[in-house]
Amino acid sequence: MNQPLSTPSRRELLRLAALAAAALSAPAAFAAAQQADLRGSIDAIRYKTLPASGDRKSTSLQKMIDEASQSNVPVFLPPGTYKVSNLTLPDNTRITGVPGASRIVYTGDGHLFSAENVKRIELSNIVIDGQNRWLGDYAGALVQFSGIDEVFIDNCEIIGSRKHALQLERCGGRIERSRISGAGQSGIYAVESAGLSVTGNEVFDCGNGGILIHRWKKADDDSIISNNRVYRIRANDGGTGQNGNGINIFRADNVAVTNNHVSDCAFSAIRANSASNIQINGNQCLRSGETALYVEFEFQGAVVSGNMIDGAANGISIANFDKGGRLASVTGNVVRNLTLKGPYEHELGFGVGIAAEADTLISGNVIENAPRWGMQLGWGPYLRNLVVNGNIIRKAGVGCVVSVADGAGTAVITDNVFQETAGGAVVGFAWDKKMSDELAANGQNPYPQLTVERNRIS
């Protein structure tokens, strides 16, 4: 026998009425919010550029982009997959979508996105998928911009490019909060930049490089690379350092590389080649295949401070005084767990904590587990004006190797702590040949160009 239905109380009726009102108002509120964000935008439905429409020549999407640019309004792509190629972006292009749901898929006819000599391009909230398809010989990347005053790429995903994922030449602007992966070459390749910012991105699983800031000729670049996560960078094209770096600065002056997390790179976590006034500060560098932090060749001015290095063939190298590399400060870094194995044969070998050659302060660093040398000061005659003060070196083959070869210059080695350095705390070398006994013991320094005082050995 069915039970009679109970009569709702007045309180229950009021609650149901409130829920119904909220449900009816929600879509309108959502629509209003969308209009506020994309007021005046042009969307793909109006131009029949529908997801998976098979519009291989991309004519309707190109027409939509052109009209939106002329009207100075954004293009909105609803969720779905848009199969396109050979799009040329005019000035004031703004393309946005639904993060993770609006997918632009390259069909393999030459290039995907290109733009040249315009003022402003914006891409946001879209997935760009190259599907590892063929790119034309003229195309260096899946997304390629040249001569753009302001490029803004935000909250995008760029995947599966057979060459570079993103290539910028003579561009300024910002690349931020984006995920870039699976590029055959590098994730971001920027040449001749004008104050570019690359911040808060994730770049991984690329064939030859992570983030590259290069110039054709050495000059001011003023780029900032900060708070990025870069990992699993290979060196498919081999070499001795031109490939396989997480972040690579080449001929670009006045660049800051700060607070990045870089791991599992075939060569360096961060490599600066011929880059003056470089700052490399506060980075986490894990499991580098070669030298974790490298400042080399024609540079004047480098600050390397507050970095954490755990796992590498070498820790930090400030090199190439023979090519004009000089003037640096290396302070407050932690370098640990190095290895004697590297990615190629080297005349000296690997397993060195910190190496420097000219006009450099090395102070307040901690080095642990450097199987060859904790520090290498100079190389043959390439030693001038090194001050090594207040460092801790423990568990190293030799604590500090200093060059005493003919022509080597001045070094001051004071107030350092050496522990468990079986081959000596401070020892003179000529090139790779040992030339002295312990120099840190009182009265045992026969080299007037060296000051070795107040070091503690245990």
Structure tokens at 29: 């509120």
Say what the pLDDT of residue 20 is: 33
In 3D space, the residue among 205, 204, 222 whose CA is nearest the CA of residue 213 turns out to be 222
Amino acid at 352: V
Say what the pLDDT of residue 119 is: 98
Identify whether 328 is part of a domain: no
Identify whether 100 is part of a domain: yes
In 3D space, the residue among 242, 230, 228 whose CA is nearest the CA of residue 206 turns out to be 230
Identify whether 119 is part of a domain: yes
For residue 66, give every residue at least 6 positions away whose Cβ sits within 8 Å of its Cβ, in sequence order, or none.
90
Identify whether 353 is part of a domain: no
Look at the alpha carbons of 215, 221, 244, 144 in this order and tell me if their dihedral is positive or negative: negative
Say what the pLDDT of residue 48 is: 52
Q: How far is CA 6 from CA 9, 313, 364, in A?
A: 9, 78, 79
Q: Give the count of beta carbons closer than 10 Å to the beta carbon of residue 418.
A: 22
Q: Give the count of beta carbons closer than 10 Å to the beta carbon of residue 16.
A: 11
Say what the pLDDT of residue 182 is: 98
Say what the pLDDT of residue 113 is: 98
> Which tens digits make up the pLDDT trace of 25-46?
333 332 333 333 444 577 765 6
For residue 331, give every residue at least 6 positions away whose Cβ sits within 8 Å of its Cβ, in sequence order, or none.
304, 305, 306, 361, 362, 363, 364, 365
Look up tokens 């980075």; give the residue: 283
Say what the pLDDT of residue 348 is: 86
pLDDT, one tens digit for every residue, the chain (458 residues): 444 444 445 444 344 334 333 333 333 332 333 333 444 577 765 655 656 555 444 788 999 999 999 999 999 999 999 999 999 999 999 999 999 999 999 999 899 999 999 999 999 999 999 999 999 999 999 999 999 999 999 999 999 999 999 999 999 999 999 999 999 999 999 999 999 999 999 999 999 999 999 999 999 999 999 999 999 999 999 999 999 999 999 999 999 999 999 999 999 999 999 999 999 999 999 999 999 999 999 999 999 999 999 999 999 999 999 999 999 999 999 999 999 999 998 888 899 999 999 999 999 999 999 999 999 999 999 999 999 999 999 999 999 999 999 999 999 999 999 999 999 999 999 999 999 999 998 878 999 999 999 999 99
Adjacent-strand bridge partners of 221: none
Q: Whole-model pTM?
A: 0.90
Identify whether 275 is part of a domain: no
Say what the pLDDT of residue 444 is: 82
How many alpha carbons fall within 13 Å on the CB side of residue 177?
9
> Which tens digits make up the pLDDT trace of 46-99?
655 656 555 444 788 999 999 999 999 999 999 999 999 999 999 999 999 999
Provide the residue range defining the domain that includes 93.
Answer: 40-164
In 3D space, the residue among 182, 96, 93, 74 whose CA is nearest the CA of residue 132 turns out to be 182
Q: Determine the Cα–Cα distance for residues 203 and 179; give it in Å rounded to an integer.
A: 6
Say what the pLDDT of residue 274 is: 98
DSSP states of 389-407 as a string? ES-EEEEEEEEEEEE-STT
- Give me the number of domains the chain comprises: 1
Say what the pLDDT of residue 109 is: 87
Identify whether 158 is part of a domain: yes
Say what the pLDDT of residue 41 is: 73
Q: Determine the Cα–Cα distance for residues 70 and 1; give it in Å rounded to an integer.
A: 73
Identify whether 360 is part of a domain: no
Q: How far is CA 308 from CA 257, 269, 277, 338, 350, in A?
A: 14, 11, 21, 13, 19
Identify whether 196 is part of a domain: no
In 3D space, the residue among 200, 218, 211 whose CA is nearest the CA of residue 167 turns out to be 211
Q: How far is CA 121 from CA 69, 114, 156, 217, in A?
A: 10, 10, 14, 26
